[in-house]
Chains A and B, each alone.
Chain A
Amino acid sequence: MITQENTGFSLQTADIDRVLRQLSTMQSAAQFVHLFSLCSEATGGYIRLKPEHRFFPVLIGDGNTVIPLYEFVEVLDEVLDYDLLLKELPSLSYSHVGGALAFLRRLAQTNPANIDLDQIEDDEMLSSPAFLEELRTALADKETSLVLHRG
C-alpha cells in the first residue's frame, strides 16, 4: 500500500495491479497498431488503420468505399481456384487451403480493442428469432436432395 502524508492519498496493491493491467493492455494495443502500421508503410500504404474504423485494417476504394481486409480475404476465398493453387503446392489439401484462408481472415480481423466481429455477427443471429426459426425449419427438412460426395 502506498500512502502520502497529510493528503489522505493511498493506493492499495489491488489498485496498482489494476493500473498495471491497464498499462499492459494499452501497450499491447500500441504495439499492434505499430506493427500493422509498419507493415502497411512497407507495402505501399494501401492498408489503412484509422480510429474511425477502430483500427481494423481496411482498404479505401474509389468514392471512399471502405473495404475491411477480412472481407477482402472472404472475396479472395470466393474467387480463388483451389485446384490451381493445389497444382502449385501438391503436398497440400483443400483443408489446408481452407484453413490458411480462415487464418488470414482471422488475422485481418485483429484490432487493438479486441472487438470480435464474428462474435457480434453470431450474437445478431442468436438474437433474431426469425432467423433461428428459419434454421430450425431447414434442419427439420430431412429430404436429401443433392449428394455432393459419396463416402
Chain B
Amino acid sequence: MCSIAANHTADSQLTDLRSSGDDNRITKKLRNFAQDSTIERAGYLDTSAHHLRRMPPGLQNMRRLRAGRHRVFYTGHHSECSYLVFFIKEFTKTGFSDEDDRQFQRLLASALEDQTKKRIIRESDEEETRKMDA
C-alpha cells in the first residue's frame, strides 16, 4: 500500500472545497487509490490514462486525475510507493446555474474551429472544375 500526501497549495485548495464536502470525497478517493498500489504492483494512479501528453519541460512527470468535475494534479509512482498531490483545479459550484456550464459549448466551438484547419480530402466539384480551368 502506497502513501499519498498533499502539499500546502493542494491542501489550501482542498480547504476551499470543504463547504461542499468535496474535500472529503476527493481525499477519500485518493487515499483508496493509493492503497491499491504497491511497490510491486501499479495501481489506478499509475495508469496511462492520467498521463498528459506534450507537457512543457518541468511539468512532464505530472499526472492528472479526474475526480468528478475537479482535476487533481499529482506526481509519484508506485515504484516509489509514494504520490504527492500538488494542485487541484476546482470546478466552481455556484449553485443554481451550475448546470448551465458553458464548457461543453466552448469545447465544441474549439473543435469546430479546429476543423477548419483540417486537410481538404476532396474539393467541391465547382472548385475542382475551377482549378482545372485555371
Mark contacts of A75-87 with chain B using CB atoms, 8 A cut-off: 1 yes-contact digit, 0 otherwise. 1011100100000
B47 within 8 A of A: yes
Q: Known contacts A77-B67, A78-B25, A149-B3: does B99 contact A138 (CB below 8 Å)?
A: no
B68 contact set on A, CB distance < 8 A: 74-75, 77-79
Mark contacts of A121-133 with chain B using CB atoms, 8 A cut-off: 1 yes-contact digit, 0 otherwise. 1111010000010
Closest Cβ neighbor of B34 among chain A residues: A149
| A50: min CB distance to chain B, Å | 11
Mark contacts of A52-81 with chain B using CB atoms, 8 A cut-off: 1 yes-contact digit, 0 otherwise. 011010100100011110010011011100
Tell me which residues from 24 to 78 in chain B have a Cβ below 8 Å from any Cβ of chain A.
25, 27-36, 43-44, 47, 49, 52-56, 58-59, 62, 66-70, 73, 75
B47 contact set on A, CB distance < 8 A: 99
Mark contacts of B66-110 with chain A using CB atoms, 8 A cut-off: 1 yes-contact digit, 0 otherwise. 111110010100000110111100000000000111011101101
| A19: min CB distance to chain B, Å | 8
Bound CA span A123–B114, Å: 11
Interface size on B, residues (CB 8 A): 65
Bound CA span A66–B101, Å: 9
Closest Cβ neighbor of B27 among chain A residues: A148
B55 and A126 within 8 A (CB): yes
A149 and B4 within 8 A (CB): yes
Bound CA span A33–B85, Å: 39
B134 within 8 A of A: no
B108 and A135 within 8 A (CB): no
| A151: min CB distance to chain B, Å | 4
A146 within 8 A of B: yes
B18 within 8 A of A: no
Q: Known contacts A99-B44, A147-B3: does B82 contact A68 (CB below 8 Å)?
A: no
A145 and B114 within 8 A (CB): no
Closest Cβ neighbor of B38 among chain A residues: A151
Mark contacts of A112-144 with chain B using CB atoms, 8 A cut-off: 1 yes-contact digit, 0 otherwise. 010101001111101000001011111101111
B10 and A151 within 8 A (CB): no
A93 within 8 A of B: yes
A151 and B82 within 8 A (CB): yes
Bound CA span A96–B34, Å: 13
6 A-B residue pairings within 8 Å (CB atoms): A18-B122, A22-B121, A75-B69, A99-B44, A120-B107, A146-B27
